[in-house]
Amino acid sequence: MAAASSFPSTSRLSPKILTSASLRRPGGSVSFRRRPGNCGASPSVTSSSLLRSGGGRARRELRVVLASSAPVMDTESPENETGSRVSTVVDVDLGDRSYPIYIGSGLLEEPQLLQRHVHGKRVLVVTNTTVAPLYLEKVTKALTNGNPNISVESVILPDGEKYKDMNTLMKVFDKAIESRLDRRCTFVALGGGVIGDMCGLAAAAFLRGVNFIQIPTTLMAQVDSSVGGKTGINHPLGKNLIGAFYQPQCVLIDTDTLNTLPDRELASGIAEVIKYGLIRDAEFFEWQEKNMHALLARNPTALAYAIKRSCENKAEVVSLDEKESGLRATLNLGHTFGHAIETGIGYGQWLHGEAVAAGTVMAVDMSYRLGWIDDTIVKRVLSILQQAKLPIAPPEEMTVEKFKASMAVDKKVADGLLRLILLKGPLGNCVFTGDYDRKALDETLDAFCNH
């Protein structure tokens, strides 16, 4: 168990500032730098002291709890003013489309959290064959408890990345149409990243858009894919090439669902946690180095802190760049190489986080070859991924040709130019750029494909 003193003592994230003058580079690059003079404690925020956006317009009236010192979750603490066991609420600030991320233990047994975000009287829960036996009944009870007017249907999909395709997506539409759902219905995604992505895309397309809620049950989905509105399915030629940006009404993270998560899936989610530290939150990365054993041991306090801090990082980025025009792309560190691995060896052979981990090592290697980082960062990345029991090289069947074929259709290609997320400068800094020496990319691919 990690000692409480090992958690950061700062009361907020170290924010970054983006300006067109300071961040636009030749070749369309975007970089992160820390906002100077803004690393001290933030003012306390309570239910009566709301964060405000430009022009003084209040955000959605929710209690926002920013990063604080550990322990971040105390399941024995009194219930909050709403009578809920919610430990943390992180707000994704998108104006009138803002929404809360609820984080806490036992939240699937909090009917009011779900019911306040349901539109109409009809609900379709989208889940899979693994999650349904564990949590479908509990979610159905939460949706209908004290509200007999709510009618809940469900569609149970096969489990796995290889089913994230158009044929499986059609099963959701079939169920919705057969059940005669209308525009006042609500879709609920109950599962990991695959379910969240497919349910979100179905909600975006059904009747040209219906309400939906995210209930992520894997660490990967809790720290990354459920937040920010990215939805989609895979194509045989590339991952997530068909999709839409479509925001949920809320994200409900019950940390108890991690108790049933296999160790391999847990490690896969940690790959995305590590990413946040590398690209924008060096203090968080240092915390991970000290507490990786606690995360792998499923220490509830450590996991809750990692989820909260990851969500805060992602929410901040999404609020600044919802449609991934530049800044948000930096959240894809390691994903260009990683998606190529998933496509090249067949969807579902490696978990997403495993491919991202190997892809992160490749991106770090390329950054080092460009002279943008020193070898101490390379060593720290290798060390933490090995601690997390994640791959540090692509599978042997990946060839240079397979990488290049997949990367040619990557979503970050613009005007024929492959743009990459690379580390540059001290830990916690990165760039999204097409302005790099192609020789470094070739050398990295050669080094990892001829091992």
Cβ atoms 72, 301 nearer than 8 A: yes
Determine the distance from the C-alpha atom of residue 234 to the mean position of all C-alpha atoms in its chain, rounded to a whole number: 17
Catalytic status, residue 339: yes
| Burial category of 30 from C-beta neighbours within 10 Å (exposed 0-12, middle 13-18, buried 19 and up) | buried
Residues 63, 352, 402, 419: which is the catalytic one? 352
Catalytic status, residue 76: no
Distance (Å, whole) CA 272 – CA 378: 17
Catalytic status, residue 354: no
Q: What is the secondary structure of 157-195 as a DSSP string?
A: EPPSGGG-SHHHHHHHHHHHHHTT--TT-EEEEEESHHH
Q: What is the secondary structure of 268-307 as a DSSP string?
A: HHHHHHHHHHHHT-HHHHHHHHHHHHHHHTT-HHHHHHHH
What is the pairing mode between strands 186-191 and 122-128? parallel
Catalytic status, residue 208: yes
Task: Give, in order, the Cα–Cα distances in Å from 232 to each of 170, 195, 204, 444.
Answer: 13, 10, 10, 29
Residues in the chain: 451
Catalytic status, residue 352: yes
Determine the distance from the C-alpha atom of residue 350 to the mean position of all C-alpha atoms in its chain, rounded to a whole number: 18
Structure tokens at 441: 């990319």
Among the listed residues 444, 250, 429, the one whose alpha carbon sits nearest the alpha carbon of residue 362: 444
Residues 230, 239, 280, 419: which is the catalytic one? 230
Residues 161, 272, 283, 354: which is the catalytic one? 272
User: What are the two backbone dihedrals, phi and then psi, of residue 16, each rounded to the nearest 5 degrees?
Assistant: -115, 155
Catalytic status, residue 324: yes
Residues 61, 167, 180, 208: which is the catalytic one? 208
Residues 283, 312, 316, 324: which is the catalytic one? 324
Catalytic status, residue 342: no
Distance (Å, whole) CA 317 – CA 16: 9
Catalytic status, residue 119: no
Residues 16, 175, 239, 335: which is the catalytic one? 335
- 8-state DSSP, 420: E
Structure tokens at 347: 């969807």
Q: What is the secondary structure of 65-84 as a DSSP string?
A: ----SSP---TTSPP-TTS-
Residues 291, 332, 342, 412: which is the catalytic one? 332
Q: What is the secondary structure of 218-251 as a DSSP string?
A: SHHIIIIITSS-EEEEEETTEEEEEEEE---S-E
Catalytic status, residue 24: no
Distance (Å, whole) CA 132 – CA 50: 37
Residues 63, 122, 275, 339: which is the catalytic one? 339
Residues 309, 314, 412, 419: which is the catalytic one? 314
Residues 164, 328, 369, 402: which is the catalytic one? 328
Cβ atoms 108, 139 nearer than 8 A: yes
Question: Which active-site residues does the annotation give?
Answer: 208, 230, 272, 314, 324, 328, 332, 335, 339, 352
